[in-house]
Amino acid sequence: MNTDLLNSEILKAGISLNVNYYEETESTNLSAKNILAEDPSTDNTLILTSHQTNGKGRFDRKWYSEPGANLTFTLIKKLTLSVDEIQLVNFYTSYILCLTLREIFTENKNMNFMLKWPNDLLLNGKKLSGILLEIKNPETPVKTFIIGCGVNVNQTVFDRSLPNNTTSLKSESGIISDPEKILISFIKNFFGKSSMLNDGDQLICKWKSCSDITGKKIIFRKFDDDIPVTAVVEDVSPDGALCLRNENGILKKYYSGEITLSV
């Protein structure tokens, strides 16, 4: 990827962001951790690669991405948030990604972008993007967030080990998109709307307006190898917790885990 346009657009928009581009790297989240190990004061830094050789997903899963076809990047961002507010960064990032892609594909009515708790972006009901959020120093007031994002842009054949509900912008639209241009729009929105992080209730409200899970019957797992439970989504509370009513009518709040839609 040629990052000239990205650098000039960032400069034009007055965003202070260092861009580190690698042809190939193991995982941009790992590169971010290495950068922070050398200089813990690193902030406002983007790590971008065309080829991740060992991309990481949530629950220790792998994130496969065809070299040169997609977006795989990590942002290092310092934010003053309390421990209870850490999850807001997941909601903020996925909301901004959803908003960005809705803006780009606004004319294409067949592109239905929706959010799935806690931070997946679905396109026409299939997984388009995932976020892996890691925190360097959760105990200090100013926390260092390592925000890893993978977006399937032009890949159309997916690894057989993946569930067949994975998709890309190209698979759904038939159009080849420029990953760099998508990233530029995302960065502008991410830095331009960051005051949203100061009002968690409002942010969750906005996030919920892009999600349709409330009232749906789902299967929930707290961990990858956990026993799945069937429940109905009652709400996503203002602190980002998933409120589930189980088959015995008991209401419980969960702050992490994964849901799949029940058929």
What are the residues facing 261 on neighbouring strands? 218
Query: Residue ranges of the alpha helices (H) in 13-167?
Result: 28-38, 88-104
| Beta carbon nearer to ligand BTN, 61 or 245 | 61
Three-state secondary structure string covering 200-255? HHHHHHHHHHCCCCCCCEEEEECCCCCCCEEEEEEEECCCCCEEEEECCCCEEEEC
Residue 126 binds to ligand BTN (criterion: CB under 6 A)? no
Task: Please give the helix or strand (H or E) that residue 176 lies within, else none.
Answer: none
| Beta carbon nearer to ligand BTN, 232 or 258 | 258
Q: CB of residue 96 vs ligand BTN: minimum separation in angstroms?
A: 15
| Beta carbon nearer to ligand BTN, 122 or 241 | 122
Alpha-carbon distance of 51 to 21, in angstroms, equals 11
Token pair listed for 150? 């993978």
Phi, psi of 23 (to 5 degrees): -55, -45
Give the per-residue contact string, 73-112, with ligand BTN (x = CB under 6 A; - = no): xx--------------------------------------
Q: Tell which one of 118, 130, 179, 240 touches ligand BTN (CB under 6 A).
A: 130
Token pair listed for 260? 């799949």
Q: Tell which one of 132, 184, 218, 231 touches ligand BTN (CB under 6 A).
A: 132
Compute how many other C-beta atoms are within 10 angstroms of the C-beta atom of residue 170: 17
Q: CB of residue 90 vs ligand BTN: minimum separation in angstroms?
A: 10
Residues in region 136-155 near ligand BTN by CB under 6 A: 148-150
Contacts of 89 (CB under 8 A, 6+ apart): 77, 79, 81, 133, 145, 147, 197
- Sheet containing 18-25: which strands, arranged edge to edge? 18-25, 45-52, 71-80, 142-151, 126-135, 120-123, 113-116
Q: CB of residue 70 vs ligand BTN: minimum separation in angstroms?
A: 8
| Beta carbon nearer to ligand BTN, 86 or 234 | 86
Q: CB of residue 179 vs ligand BTN: minimum separation in angstroms?
A: 12
Residues in region 50-69 near ligand BTN by CB under 6 A: 52, 55-58, 61, 63
| Beta carbon nearer to ligand BTN, 119 or 232 | 119
Residue 27 binds to ligand BTN (criterion: CB under 6 A)? yes
The vertex-166 CA angle with 103 and 162, nearest 5°, equals: 150
Number of amino acids touching ligand BTN (CB under 6 A): 19
In this chain, which residue has its C-beta nearest to ligand BTN?
130
Q: CB of residue 112 vs ligand BTN: minimum separation in angstroms?
A: 19
Residue 29 binds to ligand BTN (criterion: CB under 6 A)? yes
Contact call for residues 45 and 35 (beta carbons, < 8 A): yes
Write out the residues near ligand BTN by the rule CB under 6 A. Answer: 27-29, 52, 55-58, 61, 63, 72-74, 130-132, 148-150
